[in-house]
Amino acid sequence: MSPKKSTTMLKRNIRTALAAGSLALVALAGCLVGPKYHPPAPPQIAASNYKESTVNFKDQPGWKVARPQEAMLRGKWWEIFHESELNNLEDQLNLNNQDIKFYFEQYMQARALIAEARAQYWPTLFATPTYSRQKTSGNLSQSTLANTGHTSTMWTAPLDASWSPDLWGKIRNEVRTEQYSAQVSAADLAGEILVEQASLAEYYFEIRGQDMLQKILNETVAADQAALNVTQAAYDAGVGDYIAVVQARNTLQATQASAIAVGLLRAQYEHAIAVLLGRVATDFSIPVRPVIYTPPPIPTGVPSQLLERRPDVAAAERTLAAANATIGIGYGAFFPQLTLTAAGGTQTSQIYQIADWPSRFWSIGTSASQVIFDAGLYQATLHQYEAIYNTDLANYRQTALTAFQQVEDALVATRNYSQQIIRQQEAVQSGQQYLDLEMQRYNTGVDPYIDVTIAQTTLLGDQVGLNTLQVSEMMSAVQLVQALGGGWDVSQLPTPSQVTKKVPASLYKMQR
């Protein structure tokens, strides 16, 4: 065959292949099997405000939500507590926390899976150059092989191409599944950041509570030591009983033991903060500073906004979208799969002829495959995907309900603790008055010292109880902010197109 005729035939075959590819692309644009995704309906919310935020305490002091209630926290939510040391610690958190880095790398992995799925849109090209040398048997006189008994050399430089057009949307559904899964990973990352931020705030306020408790106990130890000195002096002067000395010494020793125990919890909270910041606990410390905190008014927003403010709710909804796309993948398995192939290159026995025009070869073709019988495998797989979707739907609804529960729980806890604190402060005042009166009665010889010991123990219990309530109130305030989603909202969740973009190399270097 002449080179001109061969070239004409090659062009005709290429046009045929392009026409087949064009038809496939038309089908690709028009066919997408599987159910269309509709976001789940949120729980029906009739109330315009959270129930626990509307309890009437207008005539009573104590914590209340911020007004107007429609306002929401934004950005660095911890700054609402106006604590500069806490602000500094929180700013260090995102850069060094290893759990956050773990979730970040999972997010990067999810984005890489999108690129893997999108790669199926394009043809696959293979270049497999080969060299072989062989000798055939000389005793093949009855064989159809030519040149029996001869040695031959073969140089081949082929290029193979294969492409399976996405006729039924299987690849598109796979890409969507990975995109939605990457959004889930992004929401999980945001949720983990919020958890770590809230944990840091809680540990910080726990430390300050321990510092205040240490101050209370140290002052009590000093007072008990003074009382022991008085009773000892009275006994030495012959005007007191030895039992009073023993009772005073016992009270002092018990308080000293309690004062020593405070250091344990404080150290453990300090070590926990070091880990959150990605630092070695041995080289980290927080200065002692006894402070009494009261939570500020916290803007709660309205209930209808809550589901858009919670990363875990966003993750549950995106998981549902991914499950719906997976059902589309299951539907696509029921339809024929088309594959277009092409191969070409050069082949010669002499290496110097590898680029010569007569050394060329080529082939093009297409094939279709369709499962005729699989004993119900594809049908069972589709049912599995549908069950996964229904499971994720139930999980989404449960996550939404839990979100409202957590907000209401934190609201009632913060409000109730503030009311308890008011009463406990009154109890501390009464306890101090009780101790002062009892000391007067003891000094005048009316009551034995055991009554003073009881009064001391009562006052210390009241002071410790007040400190515990004040710390608990701050914990519940932090938990309320966390339940409200911190400063996050769904607008910060990257879109499918954003998670599909190539990740800048600088972002990887920043995380190393």
Q: Examine residue 7 and state whether it is found in any structural domain, yes or no.
A: no
In 90-215, DSSP assigns E strands to 124-127, 130-135, 151-163
Residue 63 is part of a domain; what is its CATH number?
1.20.1600.10
Q: Is 3 a residue whose pLDDT tops 50?
A: no
For residue 182, CA distances in Å to 104, 170, 175, 208 come to 11, 18, 10, 39
pLDDT at residue number 392: 95
Decide if 1 contacts 362 (C-beta within 8 A): no
Q: Examine residue 429 and state whether it is found in any structural domain, yes or no.
A: yes
Q: Examine residue 63 and state whether it is found in any structural domain, yes or no.
A: yes
Q: Which of 13-17, 166-170, 414-418 has the lowest mean pLDDT?
A: 13-17
Number of structural domains (the chain) is 1
Q: Is 418 a residue whose pLDDT tops 70?
A: yes
355-373: average pLDDT: 84
Q: Which of 71-75, 403-407, 409-413 has the lowest mean pLDDT?
A: 71-75
pLDDT at residue number 58: 57
Q: Is 126 exposed, middle or buried, given 0-12, 13-18 or 19+ CB atoms closer than 10 A?
A: exposed
| Between 417 and 239, the higher pLDDT residue | 417
pLDDT at residue number 149: 66
Q: Which of 46-60, 85-99, 281-295, 395-409 has the lowest mean pLDDT?
A: 46-60
Q: Examine residue 173 and state whether it is found in any structural domain, yes or no.
A: yes
HSE (side-chain half, CA atoms, 13 Å) at 155: 12
Structure tokens at 476: 């519940």
Q: What percentage of residues in the chain have a pLDDT greater than 70?
A: 89
Q: Indicate the helix (H) or strand (E) that contains 347.
A: strand 337-348
How would residue 94 be classed by pLDDT, with cut points 50, 70 and 90? confident
Among candidates 48, 4, 44, which has minimal Cα distance to 301?
Answer: 48
55-67: average pLDDT: 69
How would residue 14 be classed by pLDDT, with cut points 50, 70 and 90? very low
Q: Is 282 a residue whose pLDDT tops 60?
A: yes
Q: Examine residue 466 and state whether it is found in any structural domain, yes or no.
A: yes
Condensed to tens digits (0 to 9), the pLDDT of residues 16-34 reads 544 555 544 444 445 778 8
Q: Is 506 a residue whose pLDDT tops 50?
A: yes
Condensed to tens digits (0 to 9), the pLDDT of residues 72-90 reads 788 899 999 999 999 999 9
**Number of Cβ within a 10 Å radius of residue 416:** 18
Q: Examine residue 66 and state whether it is found in any structural domain, yes or no.
A: yes
Residue with tokens 């500094």: 88
Q: Indicate the helix (H) or strand (E) that contains 337.
A: strand 337-348
Q: Is 386 a residue whose pLDDT tops 70?
A: yes
309-320: average pLDDT: 96
Q: What is the DSSP string of 273-313?
A: HHHHTT--GGG-----------PPP-----GGGGGGT-HHH
Condensed to tens digits (0 to 9), the pLDDT of residues 431-489 reads 999 999 999 998 888 888 889 999 999 999 999 999 999 999 999 999 999 999 999 99
CA distance 89 to 204: 9
Q: Which of 21-30, 102-111, 131-140, 293-302 has the lowest mean pLDDT?
A: 21-30
Decide if 193 contacts 185 (C-beta within 8 A): no
Residues 486-507 as b or e (16 or more Cβ within 10 Å = b): bbbbbeebbebeebbeeeeeee
pLDDT at residue number 167: 85
pLDDT at residue number 70: 67
Enumerate long-range contacts of 389-396, CB under 8 Å, 24 or more apart: 389/320, 389/323, 389/324, 389/326, 389/327, 392/316, 392/319, 392/320, 392/323, 393/40, 393/320, 395/316, 395/319, 396/40, 396/313, 396/316, 396/317, 396/319, 396/320
Q: What are phi and psi of 350, to 5 degrees?
A: -120, 125
Signed CA dihedral, 28, 29, 35, 39: sign only? positive
Q: Examine residue 306 and state whether it is found in any structural domain, yes or no.
A: yes
Q: Examine residue 68 and state whether it is found in any structural domain, yes or no.
A: yes
pLDDT at residue number 391: 96
pLDDT at residue number 249: 94
The mean predicted confidence, pLDDT, of the chain is 86
CA distance 1 to 360: 13
CA distance 402 to 398: 6
Range of the domain at 256: 31-38+54-121+166-335+370-511
pLDDT at residue number 10: 44
CA distance 476 to 484: 12
Q: Is 4 a residue whose pLDDT tops 70?
A: no
Q: Is 36 a residue whose pLDDT tops 50?
A: yes
Using omega within 30 degrees of 0 as the cis cutoff, is the peptide bond preceding 297 cis? no
